Amino acid sequence: MRKLIAGLALAATIVAPVQADKIRDLTSVAGVRSNQLIGYGLVVGLDGSGDQTTQAPFTTQSLENMLQQFGISVPANARPQLKNAAAVMVTADLPPFAKPGQVIDVTVASIGNAKSIRGGQLLMTPMRGADGNVYGMAQGSVVVGGASASGKSGSSVQINISSSGRIPNGASVERAVPSTFGQDGPMVLNLNTPDFTTAARVAQAINGTYGAGTAQPMDGGSIAVRGPADASQRVAWLGAIQGLEVTPGDAPARVVVNSRTGTVVIGSDVRVSAAAVAHGSIQVTISENPQVSQPGPFSNGTTQVVQNSSVSISEDGAHMFKFGPGVSLDQIVRAVNQVGAGPSDLISILQALKQSGALHAELVVI
C-alpha cells in the first residue's frame, strides 16, 4: 500500500526561518479589482466536430441571425445541418486599470454537443459585464489543449477536454471600468489572509517609515492609510509602501483534506492531545454456491435448485494508534506508515481525532 509522503505536509519537521514579505504580496488596494466578462458567440471552421443542429437548434438560429446581418436570407423551411460550427460561451477577466485598445485572454467553452472545437475560429463576440455594458470584443483562433479521436466501429480515445480552449490576447478592451483610486480620503489596504497580528505589523511598518498616524488598522483584515492629495503623487507613494517588508503573523493550525484524491496537507503547528485510535478493516464475504437436487426415479418429482450460501467476516489490518500529548505531524505520519496504511487511512484518523476533540487544528475537507 502506498506510504504517506511527509513532503505533502508543509513544514512537518523543519521550522523555516522567519522571513519578511513585501506589503504588495500581503495586501490588495480596496477598489482595485478585476471584473468578469461573458459573451455568447460562434466558433466556425471545425472539421465536422461541431454541434448537431437537430439537438442544438440555437446554433442554427444564431447562424441565421448572423447571415441576416450580412444581407443573406435563409428560407423559412430550410434547416441547414451544419457540423462545422458550434455555439460557445466566452469568458474573460478584465484586469484593473485596463484601457481601450489593450488585449486580454479569453476562454471559450462549447454549450452544445460539439465533440471538439480544435482548429475553430471564434467570430466577433461582444463581452459584457455585470451591468450589461460591452467592455470588450473577442475574436480569434481557438487553442485547445485536449485531443480526441474516434473510429467507425464506435471506439474512441480522449485526452483532456477538447470542447473548451483559450484565445491568447483574443479580446480587445473597448471600455474602461471607472475606478475610485486617486479620490480624496484614506486608501484602504485589504489583507489577502485576514490576521490581526499581520494588520498591526503592516501599520507599524508604514508608521515607522512615514510617521505615526499614517496608517491605522481598521480590523483584522484592513488598514487605512493616509496619502497625498495629488493623485499622481499617490501612485509613487503607494508603490513605495508596497515595497516595505513585513513579517506576517503565524499561519493558523490547519489540516486540508481532499476526500476525492486522498491528498492531505497538514500545517507545521498542528498538534494532537493524548488519544488512542483503533483503525481496522472489516471485510464481509458472501459466496453463493447453488446446488441442483434431482428427484429419484419414478418419483414424479421435479428438479429443484437449492441455494447454498457461505457468509464470513474477517478483520484484517486492525491497528491501535496511541498518541501522547503534543504529538507532532511527523510522529503521526510515521505511525501510519509503519503499519502500511495509506492516505485514506490517515484521513479517517484525522476525522476521528477532530470529532473527539484531540486534534487542535481546523480540519478543512474539500
Q: What is the pLDDT of residues 21-40, one digit of tens each?
A: 888 888 888 888 889 999 99
Do 85 and 142 lie in one domain? The reply is: yes
pLDDT of residue 2: 43
The number of domains in the chain is 3
Helix (H) or strand (E) holding 322: strand 309-323
Question: Do 107 and 212 belong together in one domain?
Answer: no
**Full residue range of the structural domain in which residue 55 is found:** 35-173
User: Do 189 and 167 lie in a common domain?
Assistant: no
Say yes or no: 207 and 258 in one domain: no
Domain contains 80: yes
Q: How confident is the model at residue 14 (pLDDT cuts 50, 70, 90)?
A: very low
Q: Which pLDDT value is given to residue 231?
A: 74
- What span, in angstroms and rounded, lies between the C-alpha atoms of 3 and 336? 8
The residue ranking higher by pLDDT, 338 or 1, is: 338
Residue positions counted in the chain: 366
Going from the C-alpha of 292 to that of each of 297, 306, 327, the distances in angstroms are: 16, 6, 60
What cell numbers appear for 38 in the block?
461573458
> Which CATH number covers residue 194?
3.30.1360
Phi, psi torsion values for 292, nearest 5 degrees = -100, 125
Q: What pLDDT score does 169 carry?
A: 93
* Residue 284: partners with Cβ closer than 8 Å, 6 or more residues away: 311, 312, 313
Give the Cα separation of 121 and 306 in Å (integer).
67
How many CA atoms lie within 13 Å of 278's alpha carbon, on the beta-carbon side?
4
pLDDT the model gives residue 280: 58
pLDDT, tens digit (0-9, with 9 covering 90-100), for 281-317: 545 555 556 676 777 776 677 777 666 666 555 555 5
pLDDT score at 122: 93
CA gap 117, 41 in Å, rounded: 13
Mean per-residue pLDDT, 155-168: 79
For residue 296, being part of any structural domain is answered with no
pLDDT value, residue 319:
59
Query: In sequence order, what are the beta bridge partners of 22?
Result: 245
Is 266 found in the same domain as 200? no
pLDDT of residue 60: 78
In whole angstroms, give the CA distance from residue 239 to residue 24. 9
pLDDT at res. 182? 64
Which region holds residue 140: left if phi is over 0, alpha if psi is between -120 and 50, else beta? Answer: left
Amino acid (1-letter code) at residue 144: V
Backbone dihedral angles phi then psi of residue 313, each to the nearest 5 degrees: -125, 130
Average pLDDT over the chain, rounded to an integer: 77
Query: Quick one: pLDDT at residue 66?
Result: 84
How many angstroms separate the CA atoms of 223 and 186, rounded? 10
The predicted pLDDT at position 342 comes to 61
**Which of 136, 153, 173 is the last residue before a domain boundary?**
173
Residue 341 corresponds to which amino acid? A
pLDDT score at 85: 86
| Residue 252, pLDDT above cutoff 90 | no
The strand pairing partners of 164, in sequence order, are 109
Condensed to tens digits (0 to 9), the pLDDT of residues 171-194 reads 999 999 887 776 667 888 999 888
**pLDDT score, position 268:** 66
- For residue 109, the model assigns a pLDDT of 92
Question: Using CA atoms, how far apart are residues 132 and 307, in angstroms rounded to an integer?
Answer: 69
Instruction: Supply the pLDDT for residue 7.
Output: 38
Do 204 and 266 belong to one domain? no
Span 73-117, pLDDT tens digits? 777 776 666 788 888 999 999 998 899 999 999 999 998 888 888
* Range 353-365 average pLDDT: 71
Query: How far from the centroid of its chain's Cα atoms is residue 69's Cα?
Result: 40
Is residue 303 a part of any domain in this protein?
no
C-alpha to C-alpha distance for 255 and 348, rounded to whole angstroms: 13
| Model pLDDT for residues 319-346, shown as the tens digit of each residue | 566 666 666 666 666 666 665 666 666 6
Of 220, 246, 272, which marks where a domain is finished? 246
Sign (positive or negative) of CA dihedral 154, 110, 139, 160: negative
Least confidently predicted of 106-110, 210-214, 246-250: 246-250
